[in-house]
Amino acid sequence: MRKPKLLHAMSVTTSLTAPVDSLKKLGLTSFENVHYQLSPDQLTEQAVQRGDGVLNDTGALLINTGKYTGRSPKDKFTVKDALTENTVHWNDFNIPFEEKYFLQLKEKMLVHLSGEELWVRDCYACAEEAYRLKIRVINENPWSNLFCYNMFIRPEEKDLENFEPEWHIIQAPSFKADPAVDGTRAENFAVISFIHKTILIGGTGYTGEMKKGIFTILNFVLPTKAGVLSMHCSANMGDAGDTAIFFGLSGTGKTTLSADPNRRLIGDDEHGWTKDSVFNFEGGCYAKCIDLSEEKEREIFNAIRPGALVENVTFIEGTKTIDFSSKKITENTRVSYPLSFISNALEPSIGKTPKNIFFLTCDAYGVLPPISKLTAGQAMYQFISGYTAKVAGTEAGVTEPKSTFSACFGAPFLPLHPAQYAEMLGKKIEETKVHVWLVNTGWSGGAYGTGHRMKLGYTRAMITAALEGKLDNVNYEAHPVFGMMMPVECPGVPAEILNPRNTWADKAAYDAMAKNLAGQFVHNFEKYASGANEEILAAAPKL
């Protein structure tokens, strides 16, 4: 028997009928089992009833995404056609796909889905109405649809009457491609067609493919058609209306550091910068759960409640309490929730022109300073480089740092040449005189193995100091190899950790590691050097 609360939720949405005509046009043939625009309560209840998921002791829905617990960049394709042939920067992340295979896959997917129980949701991307993208998502299970409710912008009921979607996401984890005839690499795929305005996702249940699919589209459309700089960054705003944005690759701290109870959250991952605003593309956050604790990340911890969708976590044995330390299924455990689950989230998610930009890097070599100030040239050099270093396991079970250079801190999601985004950012830095900081949220006191990760509390204190102008009137020293300016003092942070060399017991080892990392930067930059001006080239580390 249904709980009364859910009956109520049901009655709220009964006025919404599935847009059958337009689904027919899309190519679906059967509509008896289409659930349209269900509420989070209903989706959660259905997921539990179907045995897709369970509730934890705080009422969030826990599911497993299946074989894939992360994105699969090698299986993400873009249809090469008249629109994209000469505009998309074809590379390892923008892999060309023939239109005939796209059409064939779409057809097969629609056949696969017809007659099945489906969950359809209409939603938006882009908080700024002028750039709003109308999206219709078609899922084959309720929790994937809950993800879309959480992550995209939720239309009001009145906006649904004449909702004409511009883009479609057709997502069917149970549909497997046949690489021999479908043009894919494997049975899983995410294919984007800019002409057909459709994203096809099959063979994988990893929800993040949907959000990063839309992000990829916006990274094409906004800079080319609207003159808006699209960015892989989080954003928040102080009481005085001062906006800060935080660029960084995965795991560097965008979500963690933007959820600051003393500031209004704009968004945790994807934003656009217009001539006078910064706006969120999304309606929710997608936070990492590994080692999540109430003490260190209260805002995110408290977001794990009814309506939240928690992926690939396990319980502490014999309880319904999530074991956040467990990597049993994956290290990439995640939770999605609407922005409003963070206290102080800004609504609508639109801030003013940024006063501060933070480039976050998680430097597992322990070389880069925990906070430093960049000149415009250094900022461009760092933006184009897009450096972070992960801790990578090797066969012998030994772990060591492995660098990643990902242009504009987001190469996997950028259809255009990085120079196009870099040029736009360069102009904005020049025009707005925004302060640019580099923050190393990674290792201190030695590389991974010897040192330790920077205390989250210290990183937060450094960012707060920068935001409050407390680093404006302190002395700085230049990093001898990388050149960025390191403050010699910072409120709430021991002065001796501000210069990374001080924190290494073995200074010669630090110097050698700094030289090694500088060499990696220089080598990586070779491919961009011909397109970079004097000022940017002068910001290269000195070998």
Q: Of these residues, 35, 65, 69, 71, which one is catalytic?
A: 71
245 binds ligand ATP (CB under 6 A): no
Rounded Cα–Cα distance for residues 276 and 11 (Å): 42
Chain centroid to CA 44: 24
**Alpha-carbon torsion angle 350, 262, 250, 502, nearest 10:** 140
216 binds ligand ATP (CB under 6 A): no
Cβ(193)–Cβ(99) below 8 Å: yes
Q: Of these residues, 80, 176, 211, 212, which one is catalytic?
A: 212
Rounded Cα–Cα distance for residues 387 and 366 (Å): 13
Q: Is 232 a catalytic residue?
A: yes
Task: Tell which positions 225-244 bind ligand ATP, by CB under 6 A.
Answer: none
Q: In this complex, which beta carbon is closest to ligand ATP, that of residue 203 or of residue 248?
A: 248
69 binds Mn ion (CB under 5 A): no
251 binds ligand ATP (CB under 6 A): yes
Smallest separation (angstroms) from ligand ATP to the CB of 379: 19
Angle, CA of 514, 518 and 524, to the nearest 5°: 150
Q: Is 263 a catalytic residue?
A: no
Compute and round to an integer the Cα radius of gyration of the chain.
Answer: 23
Q: Do the bridges between strand 118-125 and strand 34-36 make them parallel or antiparallel, or are there none, so unpaired?
A: parallel
What residue type is assigned to position 69 of the chain? T
Location of structure tokens 């050698």? 512
For residue 183, what are the CA distances in angstroms to 107, 209, 258, 341? 14, 19, 40, 41
Please, what sign has the CA dihedral across residues 62, 66, 67, 68?
A: negative
Smallest separation (angstroms) from Mn ion to the CB of 404: 16
Task: Tell which positions 142-201 bind ligand ATP, by CB under 6 A.
Answer: none
Smallest separation (angstroms) from Mn ion to the CB of 150: 14
Q: Is 305 a catalytic residue?
A: no
Smallest separation (angstroms) from ligand ATP to the CB of 516: 23
Q: In this complex, which beta carbon is closest to Mn ion, that of residue 128 or of residue 269?
A: 269
Beta strand spans in 126-207 (E):
133-139, 167-172, 189-193, 198-202
CA-closest candidate to residue 249, choices 448, 93, 96: 93
Stretches 66-74, 154-162, 267-275, 329-337: which one binds Mn ion (CB under 5 A)? 267-275
Q: Of these residues, 78, 198, 216, 255, which one is catalytic?
A: 255
Smallest separation (angstroms) from ligand ATP to the CB of 534: 32
Task: Tell which positions 412-441 bind Mn ion, by CB under 5 A.
Answer: none
Rounded Cα–Cα distance for residues 277 and 63 (Å): 37
Among 327, 453, 470, 515, binds ligand ATP (CB under 6 A): 453
Stretches 252-260, 482-490, 493-501, 533-541: which one binds Mn ion (CB under 5 A)? 252-260
Q: In this complex, which beta carbon is closest to ligand ATP, that of residue 453 or of residue 515?
A: 453
Q: In this complex, which beta carbon is closest to ligand ATP, that of residue 454 or of residue 539?
A: 454
Cβ(198)–Cβ(273) below 8 Å: no
User: Nearest to Mn ion by Cβ — which residue?
Assistant: 255
Q: In this complex, which beta carbon is closest to ligand ATP, that of residue 198 or of residue 349?
A: 349
CA-closest candidate to residue 481, choices 535, 436, 440, 520: 520
Q: Of these residues, 69, 207, 250, 441, which one is catalytic?
A: 250
351 Cβ contact partners less than 8 Å away, ≥ 6 residues apart: 235, 236, 237, 241, 243, 264, 266, 277, 278, 279
Rounded Cα–Cα distance for residues 19 and 162 (Å): 10
Q: Of these residues, 80, 121, 136, 254, which one is catalytic?
A: 254
Smallest separation (angstroms) from Mn ion to the CB of 167: 23
Among 10, 16, 160, 290, binds ligand ATP (CB under 6 A): 290
453 binds, among ligand ATP, Mn ion, none (CB under 5 to 8 A by kind): ligand ATP
Rounded Cα–Cα distance for residues 33 and 44 (Å): 17
76 binds Mn ion (CB under 5 A): no
Among 56, 255, 312, 330, binds Mn ion (CB under 5 A): 255
Q: Is 5 a catalytic residue?
A: no
Smallest separation (angstroms) from ligand ATP to the CB of 269: 6
The full DSSP string for 71-89 is --GGGEEEE-STTTTTTS-
Tokens representing 107?
């057809």
Q: Count residues contacting Mn ion (CB under 5 A)? A: 3
330 binds ligand ATP (CB under 6 A): no
254 binds Mn ion (CB under 5 A): yes
Smallest separation (angstroms) from Mn ion to the CB of 250: 7
CA-closest candidate to residue 370, choices 274, 281, 251, 500: 500
532 binds, among ligand ATP, Mn ion, none (CB under 5 to 8 A by kind): none
Cβ(261)–Cβ(300) below 8 Å: no
252 binds ligand ATP (CB under 6 A): yes
Location of structure tokens 């805002």? 299
Smallest separation (angstroms) from ligand ATP to the CB of 366: 13
Rounded Cα–Cα distance for residues 140 and 109 (Å): 11
Location of structure tokens 């935080």? 246
Q: Is 507 a catalytic residue?
A: no
Stretches 145-153, 374-382, 452-460, 485-493: which one binds ligand ATP (CB under 6 A)? 452-460
Q: Do the bridges between strand 198-202 and strand 189-193 make them parallel or antiparallel, or are there none, so unpaired?
A: antiparallel
Smallest separation (angstroms) from Mn ion to the CB of 261: 18
Q: In this complex, which beta carbon is closest to ligand ATP, that of residue 377 or of residue 412?
A: 412
Rounded Cα–Cα distance for residues 127 and 279 (Å): 6
Q: Do the bridges between strand 229-237 and strand 198-202 make them parallel or antiparallel, or are there none, so unpaired?
A: unpaired
Q: Is 523 a catalytic residue?
A: no
Q: Count residues contacting ligand ATP (CB under 6 A)? A: 19
Tokens representing 126?
């882009």
Would you please indicate which residues are annotated as catalytic (active-site) residues? 71, 212, 232, 250, 254-255, 269, 334
State the residues that interact with ligand ATP by CB under 6 A: 248, 250-257, 269, 287-288, 290, 297, 441, 453-454, 456, 459
Interface residues toward Mn ion, by CB under 5 A: 254-255, 269
